[in-house]
Structure 1
């Protein structure tokens, strides 16, 4: 700030340099809209890898074209993406099985409903639903810390995956020392809702808890509801009967030679440890049904106080590999000494509470036809749903809707048209996909004619579709729309060469693409290229590559300035970078000092791009100009609060046609001496 001298001496004043560096924005952040096995509905979530996608959205789903497109994006060089999951809202196009539903559970404490558990997580400070069948594989385990009534409890939330006759835990969250008492630092609803990525708790529709607030009932198979305080002697005829939902059942003796239960443990905790060891050792019995062995070999036994202080019980949880891993799997104790040792066979409980009621709604109907309503993809600008969920995203550069070709022709066209208008306002591109039945050259020509209304400078289309190995179908080839692959290729080219380099040519191999739906000749390519259709080609040695770089406004007859993808993307990159990098100008005094600063900063940005090879021309003067002075901004403009900046550049256009001119020369008739 200016110095105000008040005393004799030397004053130092720091002067601003007026430099406001302009940073180039990202150019290859992709956005995907589609249906997925799980994930927050109508929320844009950033993912940075395939692993992120699997955690948030469940990975590949055979009914989701977008899930395979995202895998292709990362495999082909993409590094940043935003994903929006749309769900069936029960509108007529998807009403066969109704809307997608969220899995829920109400946990009881004695006869009191303590809280509801719903599949979902917190985002931007509010609970968000995560509908779908995935929630039916979420389990809730409650234990009481071995303490009397009125004290704390623990919650363990697990998500499991069932593969054939084996169940594995894929995610686990543990929350300890919780209470239902309000206004406490360890209130269960507040702690879980802030920390869980799997579930949210609430008390919607439940009666008041009263004082003191009850705890949820503990889960686990109860092997004794009232084991006497007196330590019993060693057992001689105790068995555990196990019946699984799969139909497997067996009564297993726990008094085998060497069993730790043959000698009475000295404490209830010792009994729990001995029982756990006996169950795990019994699981090695080769005569047991195969599905039962993992149930026992990984079993966990806990000694829990039943709330009365002197009485205890045992909770037995199955091994992580048990099938099924659900509430139907219970342990029932039997044997001649059952009464003497007060093991209560009638008192059994669930191994874990399980969420239920999750449904995916209708993605495909009984015939396998696509049955999602197109309205959920278009969404609502007012509600920030569907396409407009991207309003919460600061920046994306290319939009992909790989499931769009599954809709009827009119619905697909209207969806893409709305998406093109949207990406134009966001200074982004969209890659349009073609339906699976468009295979032959004449079919592609007919499709383009029927969809000429999709011609737009911010859009590109690629032909033909690709075939990729499907991990969910034993590696068999699956027809896949190329938008995800091409979005990844754009990102790879941007990183290696720059956004001004056409994402086409012999260095643009399509990764994880086994073959193309059609192998084209040069002559066939020549029929489509003048129409603004980018072709994917197969060449010896180079394999499958991209062999076109035109926008959908790139048909020869249109003679558009935005004929080429790299020219349009470079322009959008410069526009967005300058839009963000010149906001400091707002409210500055509108006169020559400001104009000079603008010329300095914008010129430095353009000079940097010139040095990187983004423009034509051998000198900066030939490559670009920046003008901001009294000619561009008149006194009338100043009076209106306007400052005009003119920026021009000479774009690099791809060498689309290489013409080699070869001629014969006549041999000279003269001879050397």
Structure 2
């Protein structure tokens, strides 16, 4: 009520009591299986096949769920939750690729920086790191470049690169490498041990020379002494260029010839670096070995660090020289250029890049880390076992997801019968607790009508109002096997079909019929006829059929609780999924009721809001009936909520709806018209 204090007009906004209830998503599909990379035991949402490839490595022949995800998006799916699992133990350990980098000041100590692939798997072995000190303060900050290659091979092409500039090992700095990578990197994470001040610097890649003079006249004297062999010949004789002996780690020996220049023509170390780089790239092979292919120093780079040091790297721009190649400088003949450049006695020789998970022997600069490995595919214990339940692993990682509607686990069909039962039964129970629906797959060996009947009889505990099964399995071209046809479980394809039908017609429309075509499917493991379809349909086995003109379609819409003998009210998939959508939408849309005064004004607002929501669904064709009274009801009054309920803080809301049942059997009666008698 407005507080009045002076004569005049007062404006007060009065709430209307209308709180909109919206439909929740109906086709967010969860996939649980082994994948090549990505977060482990964490429900990660992806919105397309390209994003799935970036995060989880794409289609992998070891992961049937990866094919199911591809089919899901192809058939109309738009949002998937992916959970990556792995076996707890086995002969192939599950590990992430790492590498350790030692300190500039003392390469004999333990690594001061350990880089680790962001997730476990062999994919991390394709990562390479480069560190340089080309920063405003090379005594405190360094730059880190992470490159992902197509494989761990030396000449593998680069796929992705990240650069993290001006970072430090100082944990008190805002540019702390651990924090920067955790926030910005999609490829690696960092570990830095505790150490006393001053904060160390990780060693840069390449050959790092000693400190050179930076002030006149020392710098001018150095640069002029390098312009030719000393002393220079008297004019007009030509200057004699200096020569450097450069040895590669592979044993190849090269001779680089510095170009000559006029006195005082080169006045900075950057100008010297440019000339030295040009000389290295055209260096001649003078070793006894055959000429290298490709030429070993064509990708060499020379840069200046802190305006006082030269850094020479052999591999940049030359993929074949990217891993453990090092450059060692010495004098060529009687020349003293290498000594003057301080690239011999005072130089630190290092690799061209730090390979994560490399099997190469450790060098003085870096420590070989753990080799990344994929481990073994998960079994029942990892997918839904008691340990997974306790630790939110496997399907229970979906507890942390806000919402999912369909659950797909193709790997369950490839497990032995005992493990398959454990996976499917626990998954169905989990779906019932989360108002979700599971698509159950059958083993590849079940490919005859008699076999599917016997299999379902033996697995009657799979029957649930929140599950469905489809027969037969699908034959799809495998892109990882020269597109040869391979048998796949239909759950991923059907989940995409469910999503497409929900989007086009609504969740109350059965995902079956001539519109329910199966995209990306080449054939079926078994081709059913009408008689066989008529045998399986009463048992709640949804049949996938091939019809002329229409092609491959889904020709069934029953839950596993929809066998004719059970007489279940949840016989049909669209009816059950509509009920699940209503339950979840009303659950989320009525939370405002909590702690409101439990009396008639509240009940009226509840009837208003839920009634408006159900009426909108009725107008979209979700319910049967000629009018709203025939289609649904909302009851919340003193009859549903007694005084005893109010004393206990309970408000009871009764909601009923008349669902549309699919026209499963169409009967057409035909008779001849009698003539004019």
Category of TM-score, reference length = shorter chain? 0.7 to 0.9
Give me the whole-angstrom Cα distance separating, in 2, the residues matched to 1:251 and 1:553: 77
**Matching residue of 1:119:** 117
Contact 1:143 1:154 in 2 (8 A): yes
Contact 1:29 1:395 in 2 (8 A): yes
Helix, strand or coil: the match of 2:399? helix
Helix, strand or coil: the match of 2:303? strand
**Matching residue of 2:439:** 431
Give me the whole-angstrom Cα distance separating, in 1, the residues matched to 2:160 and 2:665: 54
1:382 to 380, 390, 395: 390
**Matching residue of 1:367:** none
Helix, strand or coil: the match of 2:54? helix
**Matching residue of 2:235:** none
- 1:656 and 2:633 are equivalent in the alignment: no
Cα distance change on mapping 1:79 and 1:271 into 2, 3 Å: farther
**Matching residue of 2:158:** 169
Cα distance change on mapping 1:210 and 1:337 into 2, 3 Å: farther
Q: Which residues of 2 match residues 98-177 of structure 1 at below 5 A?
A: 99-109=93-103, 110-111=106-107, 112=109, 113-120=111-118, 130-145=119-134, 150-162=139-151, 166-177=155-166
**Matching residue of 1:127:** none
**Matching residue of 1:608:** 616
Cα distance change on mapping 1:12 and 1:437 into 2, 3 Å: same
**Matching residue of 2:199:** 213
**Shift of residue 470 of structure 1?**
2.0
Contact 1:227 1:341 in 2 (8 A): no
Helix, strand or coil: the match of 1:381? helix
**Matching residue of 2:400:** 392
**Matching residue of 1:372:** 378
Q: Which residues of 2 match residues 29-428 of structure 1 at below 5 A?
A: 29-90=28-89, 95-97=90-92, 99-109=93-103, 110-111=106-107, 112=109, 113-120=111-118, 130-145=119-134, 150-162=139-151, 166-203=155-192, 206=193, 208-220=194-206, 222=207, 230-231=222-223, 232-233=226-227, 261=259, 266=266, 267-274=268-275, 276=277, 292=294, 299=299, 301-305=301-305, 310-319=308-317, 322-323=319-320, 325-326=322-323, 328-331=324-327, 336=332, 340-342=336-338, 344=344, 348-356=349-357, 357-363=370-376, 372-379=378-385, 380-428=388-436
Instruction: Give the unaligned 5+ runs of structure 2.
Output: 214-218, 229-240, 285-289, 358-369
1:304-329, Cα deviation, whole Å (9 max, x unpaired):
44x8x744331233337x24743x34
Give me the whole-angstrom Cα distance separating, in 1, the residues matched to 2:621 and 2:334: 85
1:120-171, Cα deviation, whole Å (9 max, x unpaired):
2xxxxxxxxx111111122211101167762311111222212988512222
Helix, strand or coil: the match of 2:23? coil
Contact 2:75 2:500 in 1 (8 A): yes
- 1:566 and 2:574 are equivalent in the alignment: yes
1:558-580, Cα deviation, whole Å (9 max, x unpaired):
11111111000000001100110
**Shift of residue 654 of structure 1?**
1.1
**Shift of residue 341 of structure 1?**
2.6
Give me the whole-angstrom Cα distance separating, in 1, the residues matched to 2:253 and 2:521: 53
**Shift of residue 225 of structure 1?**
6.0
- 1:479 and 2:480 are equivalent in the alignment: no
**Shift of residue 8 of structure 1?**
3.1
Cα distance change on mapping 1:477 and 1:616 into 2, 3 Å: same
Instruction: Give the unaligned 5+ runs of structure 1.
Output: 121-129, 364-370
Give me the whole-angstrom Cα distance separating, in 2, the residues matched to 1:590 and 1:289: 86
Q: Which residues of 2 match residues 434-473 of structure 1 at below 5 A?
A: 434-473=442-481
**Shift of residue 300 of structure 1?**
5.7
Cα distance change on mapping 1:282 and 1:486 into 2, 3 Å: farther
1:544 to 545, 552, 559: 552
**Matching residue of 2:367:** none
Cα distance change on mapping 1:100 and 1:661 into 2, 3 Å: same
Question: Alignment RMSD, CA only?
Answer: 2.9
TM-score (norm 1): 0.86
Give me the whole-angstrom Cα distance separating, in 2, the residues matched to 1:398 and 1:407: 21
Give me the whole-angstrom Cα distance separating, in 1, the residues matched to 2:153 and 2:166: 36
Contact 1:223 1:316 in 2 (8 A): no
Q: Which residues of 2 match residues 510-549 of structure 1 at below 5 A?
A: 510-549=518-557
Helix, strand or coil: the match of 1:162? coil
